[in-house]
Structure 1
Amino acid sequence: MTDLSTVERRVTETIGVRLFTVLAWIPERRAMRRVYSSHPEQYPVGGEKTVEIAAGWLEQCIGKQQPYLGADRAGVREVFADADLIDSLGCGAVINVPVVDGGKTLGALNILDAEGSYDETSMAAAVELAPLAVPALREVTR
């Protein structure tokens, strides 16, 4: 099984990342639970997001299983209630990629770096890496 630190390493090597978290989707609560964090002090494992999830983001990433690219600070602010904390970590760009197994959304990779770091090419690369997280998310969502 690929562990999530290996996924983080591959993301770092492929597109670069300053803040990396993995969230498991809990459909019965319509919540996202953090199961991995490169910054556990600011973003502890076990933390949950419910009401602060932007409805459009939830539909796009979890419902339609499509990635989200916020290439600048405005794109980050659009979907994250904690945009000030994200900004304080030097992050102004985000790629959110759904992790899907057999048609079922297991969760999402949250990949953040400095403003302007990501574009459509880096988002496509992140989508290619998302399946690496399937075994670990399959374990935690049982």
Structure 2
Amino acid sequence: MTDTAIAEALVAFDAAIATTTEVEGVWKALQALADVIVGAKLFTVMRLDWANDCSARTFTSHPDAYPVSGTKPINRTHWFETIHVKRQPFVANTIKDIADVFPDHETIWSLGTGSVLNWPVFVGDRMLGTVNMLHEEHYYTPERVEAAKLLSLAAKAAFLAVEHLERG
């Protein structure tokens, strides 16, 4: 990843959310930016519904394995402590560590992924959701997690752009 590649990816992301009229276009632009900055074999976005204590997948790069449908209870494990209370990204770099938190670890492993980086998205002191990147085991090194900080503002912009588009 070079500074030029990141700058070009940020310009492309900005142009995409400025012009798209489709929610999926916003998420695809964020995925493209994440691919340049940190990399992901599987990319998903979860939105939180605090009133109903659940989350819903709003975007996925693998709709067959991880469709955009339904809801699931908010995962109140050490994952939640890291993501919501400490407001830090959650990183698990082995399938064993993933299995400790996510019941769908077998599906994750079947896709050739064994590490995860979940990036929390906060706006107005409220967690809106997470941007989830998965790759091969041991992929999300401290350097990659540090680089992912460059996604933080873009993720906020994406969530707010989607909210705007959904309001019509």
What secondary structure sits across from 1:137 in the alignment?
Answer: helix
Which of 105, 108, 116 in structure 2 is aligned with 1:83? 105
- 1:64 deviates by 2.7
Higher relative contact order structure (alpha carbons within 8 Å, sequence separation ≥ 6): 1
Amino acid at match of 1:133: A
**When you count strand as a share of all residues, which structure comes out higher?**
1
Which of 84, 91, 114 in structure 2 is aligned with 1:92? 114
What secondary structure sits across from 2:100 in the alignment?
Answer: helix
Choose 1 or 2 for highest CA Rg.
Answer: 2
Partners of 2:150 and 2:73 lie apart in 1 by 27
Amino acid at match of 2:39: G
Partners of 1:128 and 1:102 lie apart in 2 by 19
Q: What TM-score, normalized to structure 2? A: 0.76
Q: Percent identical across equivalent pairs?
A: 32
* Structure 2 counterparts to residues 1-142 of structure 1, below 5 A: 1=17, 3-50=26-73, 53-138=75-160, 139=163
Q: Please say if residues 62 and 107 of structure 1, whose CA atoms lie closer than 8 Å, have aligned partners that are also in contact.
A: no
Segment of structure 1 superposing worse, 106-115 or 69-78: 69-78
- 1:134 deviates by 1.9
Aligned-pair RMSD on alpha carbons? 2.0
- 1:133 deviates by 2.2
Q: What TM-score, normalized to structure 1? A: 0.89
**When you count helix as a share of all residues, which structure comes out higher?**
2
Which residues of structure 2 form unaligned runs of 5+? 1-16, 19-25
Deviations 1:40-86 (A, max 9, x none): 111111332216x2522122212332111101112211211100000
Aligned length: 141
Q: Segments of 4+ in structure 1 off by > 3 A?
A: none
